[in-house]
Structure 1
Amino acid sequence: MRADLPARATPILDKARRRAIIATIHRKLAGHRDLAAWVEGSPLVAVELLIE
């Protein structure tokens, strides 16, 4: 299924919020990753669907 939905993406820039979100993802993935590097180097956005 494909859909073209109106949405807004807002960058998540607050380091504490970024770390909390990425740490949750990090715990669910298998393998070894450098959490600090991931927090510093990965883009992260909040997507809001603008459906009426």
Structure 2
Amino acid sequence: MLTQLRRLVDWSDLPDGYGEHGELLPQPRLICWTEVAWIIAIALVIVIAFAV
């Protein structure tokens, strides 16, 4: 599931500070990981709702 989500993301659209594989380069954090967790959780709920 995570690999599918990663394929959907075009890493070239990420802001500066990210490597080409989406890893954070050693700079101040741009995204709070709790926000990322909420976005993923909401996306999973939507996907499950449509799947059922």
Q: TM-score, normalised by structure 1?
A: 0.31
Asked which structure has the greater CA Rg, the reply is 1
Decide which structure has greater strand share. 1
Decide which structure has greater helix share. 2
Q: TM-score, normalised by structure 2?
A: 0.31
